[in-house]
């Protein structure tokens, strides 16, 4: 992990990799993230940058690798998946978050985009299945409940290498 992290830094900064921050643009060159539709959210969620530039320290990088590893528990994976899917960082998945989530999964192109009616029906179905307290949003416990009933979540969520 240290070798992979330091290789993302310019040669002159590699000696001090433990105290360096890798810019988001470099993190996004990793093969595991390059094609991930949530790549920007992943950087945002794992970055502890005070300037909010989504750069990563070695600790941030290790956290990200451990969540994506095969040995991470389903609870850990679902916790981070929820944070990644919570586009406005408000602690719930609302209709707007769900729409962004669907758009990330289906692609942004005209040919793959759902119609307004299809999107509304899909979001309605997701909320009916997941929104246990019927408040119009999905909180972390509701999300984890749904995930616990889906044994393929870890394998299919993109949170596994």
What CATH number has the domain bearing residue 108?
A: 1.10.238.10
Its domain, for residue 99, covers 74-157
In terms of pTM, does the model score above 0.85?
yes
Q: Are residues 78 and 25 in the same domain?
A: no
Instruction: Retrieve residue 13's tokens.
Output: 């900064």
Given 68, 103, 119, the domain boundary residue is: 68
Q: Are residues 79 and 148 in the same domain?
A: yes
- Inter-residue contact 131 to 142 (CB < 8 Å): yes
- pLDDT grade for 6, boundaries at 50, 70 and 90: very high
Count of structural domains within the chain: 2
Instruction: List, as one string, the DSSP characters of 26-91.
Output: HHTTSHHHHT-TTHHHHHHHH---TT-S--B-HHHHHHHHHHHSTTS-HHHHHHHHHHHH-TT-SS
pLDDT at 42 over 80: yes
Least Cα distance to 20 among 55, 51, 64, 44 occurs for 55
The residue to which tokens 């993230």 are assigned: 33
| Burial 113-138, CB ≥16 within 10 A → b, else e | eeeeeebeeebeebbeebbeeeeebb
| 143 — pLDDT class (breaks 50, 70, 90) | very high
Q: Are residues 84 and 47 in the same domain?
A: no
Residue 114 contacts residue 102 (beta carbons within 8 Å)? yes
107 pLDDT above the threshold of 90: no
Task: Identify whether residues 98 and 64 lie together within a single domain.
Answer: no
Q: What is the CA radius of gyration of the chain?
A: 17
Q: Is residue 11's pLDDT more than 70? A: yes
Residues 61 and 86 placed together within one structural domain of the fold: no
Of the residues 68, 87, 119, which one is the last residue of a structural domain? Answer: 68
Which has more pLDDT, 138 or 74? 138
Q: How would residue 155 be classed by pLDDT, with cut points 50, 70 and 90?
A: low
What local confidence, expressed as pLDDT, does residue 15 receive?
A: 92
């Amino acid at each position: 992990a240290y070798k992979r992290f330091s290789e993302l830094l310019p040669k002159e900064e590699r000696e001090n990799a433990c105290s360096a921050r890798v810019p988001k643009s470099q993190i996004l060159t990793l093969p595991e993230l390059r094609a991930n539709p949530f790549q920007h959210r992943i950087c945002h969620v794992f970055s502890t940058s005070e300037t909010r530039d989504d750069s990563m320290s070695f600790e941030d990088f290790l956290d990200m690798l451990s969540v994506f590893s095969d040995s991470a528990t389903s609870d850990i994976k679902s916790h981070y998946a929820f944070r990644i899917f919570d586009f406005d960082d408000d602690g719930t998945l609302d209709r707007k978050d769900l729409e962004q989530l669907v758009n990330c999964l289906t692609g942004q192109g005209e040919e793959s985009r759902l119609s307004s009616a299809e999107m509304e029906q899909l979001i309605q179905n997701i909320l009916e299945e997941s929104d246990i307290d019927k408040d119009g949003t999905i909180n972390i416990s509701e999300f984890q409940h749904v995930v616990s009933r889906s044994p393929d979540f870890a394998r299919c969520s993109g949170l596994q290498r």
